Amino acid sequence: MPIVVQKYGGSSVADVEKIRKVAQRVKAKREAGYQVVVVVSAMGDTTDDLLSLAKQVSPDPPRRELDMLLTCGERISMALLSMALQELEVPAISFTGSQSGIITNDTHSQARIVEVRPYRVFEELDRGKVVIVAGYQGVSYKKEVTTLGRGGSDTTAVALAAALEAEACEIYSDVDGIFSADPRVVPDARKLESLTYDEMQELASAGAKVLNAQAVEFAKAKGIVILARTAHGQGTGTAVQELAGPADTRVKGVTAEQEMAVLSAASERVRLPELLEFLDARGVRGRALSFDGLLGREPRAYIAVPLQDVHGLEAVQKDLATRFGDDVSLQEQVGTVTCVGAGINADWGYLSRALLAAEELGARVHAVHTSPLQLSLLVDKAYLKPLTARLHREFLGT
């Protein structure tokens, strides 16, 4: 029998009634002739609630202990879904990330999966059971419980799908697929029928919340088709896969990243390798690095830092001041608006139009980052939503 991996996000398992509906959907998939592995996120806002609880105890909780705490949320979901399936007379068993063989590096809060050993998953599937796995978590080679960062349940699902050689990985949420922009910002955003792995990875890394960037990386490496669908109803969703034929050169999507900060360092007084090692030791990842020092200005390095997985920002800022003094500053009033599409930087056309659109809105562009698939503008946070809507209208016509 073919294997399908399904992943249900926090909104899909937010309460007991929704968990029962998920159980019905899983049962139907099994009755359609599939072996089913289900990956679940924590219920609703459980992870945020646990993080808030931790910060009431400590403004900068130790990351090891934070991982021990935050992984409780997914364990609750997996056990409840297993109970709901058994109430429907569907044999089921729940596993933590470590029990299902998710092996990670030893970076707490932002671990990366390095290997999947799904021996117990295969055993239970062979016994006719639905296997429910707690997403977002794994175990390191040092036997430490780790978490994969926000959106990590997607990564769990796709990594398992690859290891199990599944037919597909179905990612369920409260929206029917992937849209050309956040519908809450751009009401006329279009649902995309398909995306390439590269396009989806660029959107995810630039702030689109619907899929995790590392999950797409796993899918691409193993050729796993990702189907992003709604957990409510029977929508067709969006397929993420390698498409045959020439690349579609249109802009596919526009997304914004608000949880962003920019580190500014005086290049002549701060050794950049030393600063990067400092950030790495604290799990602070950078999305883009640029330099400014032309025409007699003081040379400075700028590092764009997504804050989504940064725990203890105040402690990081304090350590920066202690280590580097005034030579390094951190600014939080900026964010990025990113357009994604094949060939977007084949000429200056898209960049020129994007800069003109920002100028018309009165938005100062602090920096520009480009790649073969991505055009990203760094602007003040006040302009993120209007610029997203403006560029969507400019490049997608709505």
Q: Which residues are annotated as a binding site?
A: 7-10, 47, 74, 184, 209-210
Task: Specify binding-site residues for substrate.
Answer: 47, 74
Tell me the two tokens of residue 85: 């399936």
Q: How far is CA 366 from CA 359, 376, 377, in A?
A: 12, 11, 8
Task: Specify binding-site residues for ATP.
Answer: 7-10, 184, 209-210
Buried/exposed code over 71-85 (b: 16+ C-beta within 10 A; e: otherwise): bebbbebbebbbebb
Q: For the chain, how big is the Rg over CA atoms in Å? A: 22
The amino acid sitting at 361 is: L
Sign of CA dihedral 9, 15, 19, 21: negative
